Amino acid sequence: MSAGTDDRLAQIEARLLKIENYLRATSIKPAGATSGVVPPQAPPTPTTQPQPSIAARAQGNWLGMVAVICFVLAAGFIVKLSIESGWLTQARQIGLAAMFGFSLIAAGFALMKSDREYASLLPGTGIIVLYLTTFAAHRFYGLIPFETAIMLVGLVSGFCIWLYTQIKHDVYAVTAALGAYLSPAILGFNADAAFSLYYFLLCSVAFAAISIWVQSRILTLVSSYLAILMSAAIGAEIHQDMLVACILAAHFFVFTLGTYVYSTQNHAPLSEQDSWIFLPVLLLFYAMEYHFIEQIQAGLAPWISLGFAGVLIGLYLSAKKYFPDSLGSQSMVLAFTSVVLFHSVYLELLPAHATPWLFVLIMLGVAYSPFQRSLTQPKAAYTIPCLAVVAILVIEYGNMLFHLLDSKEASWRLVSLAAFGSLWAVIVNAGDQRAENKKYGHTLLVAAHLLAIVGCYRLTTEIGSLAVSASWLFYAVGVMAFAFKRQDEPMAKSALFVLGFAAGKALLYDAASAPTVVRIGCLLLTGAVLYGCGLLMRKIAHWKVERTV
pLDDT for 358 equals 93
Average pLDDT, the chain: 76
Structural domain count, the chain: 2
Mean pLDDT of 492-507: 74
- Give the confidence band of 467 by pLDDT, cuts at 50, 70, 90: confident
Structural domain contains residue 366: no
Nearest to 441 by CA among 429, 453, 451: 429
Residue type at position 222: V
Question: What is the per-residue pLDDT for 324?
Answer: 81
Q: Is the pTM of the predicted complex or chain greater than 0.95?
A: no
Contact present, 124 and 176 (Cβ < 8 Å): yes
pLDDT confidence of residue 135? 74
Decide if pLDDT at 343 tops 60: yes
Q: Average pLDDT of 59-67?
A: 58
Q: Whose CA is closest to 208, among 163, 247, 161, 243?
A: 161
Is residue 537 situated within a structural domain? Answer: yes
Of 270, 382, 281, 257, give the one whose Cα is nearest residue 329.
270
Mean pLDDT, range 284-306, rounded to an integer: 91
Q: Is residue 141 part of a domain?
A: yes
Range of 49-53, 92-96, 430-434, 481-485 with top mean pLDDT: 481-485
Last residue of a domain, one of 201, 219, 237: 237
Q: What is the mean pLDDT of residues 315-319?
A: 91
- Give me the domain span that covers residue 72: 63-237
Residue 359 has pLDDT above 90, yes or no: yes
Q: Is 293 within a domain?
A: no
**In the 8-state DSSP scheme, what is residue 142?**
-
Query: What whole-number distance in Å separates Cα of residue 16 and Cα of residue 196?
Result: 97
Lowest-confidence pick of 131-140, 352-361, 420-429, 526-535: 526-535
Can you spell out the DSSP letters for 335-363? HHHHHHIIIIIIIIIS-TTTTHHHHHHHH
Q: What are the angstrom distances between the C-alpha of 223 and each of 179, 282, 409, 506, 541?
A: 10, 13, 54, 68, 66
- Portion of the chain with pLDDT greater than 70, in percent: 68
Residue 485 is predicted with a pLDDT of 81
Long-range contacts of 280-286 (CB under 8 A, 24+ apart): 281/221, 281/224, 281/225, 281/228, 282/312, 282/332, 282/336, 283/336, 283/339, 284/225, 284/228, 284/229, 284/232, 285/228, 285/248, 285/251, 285/252, 286/336, 286/339, 286/340
Query: 228 versus 203: which is more confidently predicted?
Result: 228
- In a domain, residue 357? The reply is no
User: Which of the 8 DSSP states describes residue 300?
Assistant: T
**Greater confidence, 101 or 114?**
101
For 125-155, how does the pLDDT look when each residue is reduced to its tens digit (9 = 90+)? 787 788 778 777 776 667 788 778 777 877 7
Spatial separation of the C-alpha atoms in residues 398 and 476, rounded to whole Å = 22
- Specify whether the backbone of 115 is left (phi greater than 0), alpha (psi in -120 to 50) or beta: beta
Q: State mean pLDDT over 165-194.
A: 66
The last residue of a domain, from among 200, 222, 237: 237
442 within some domain: no
CA 216 to chain centre: 17
- Are 316 and 329 in contact, with CB atoms under 8 Å apart? yes
In a domain, 374, yes or no: no
Distance from C-alpha of 134 to C-alpha of 199, rounded to nearest angstrom:
10
Residue 30 confidence class, pLDDT cut points 50, 70, 90: very low
Last residue of some domain: 221, 237, 253?
237
Residue 193 within a domain? yes
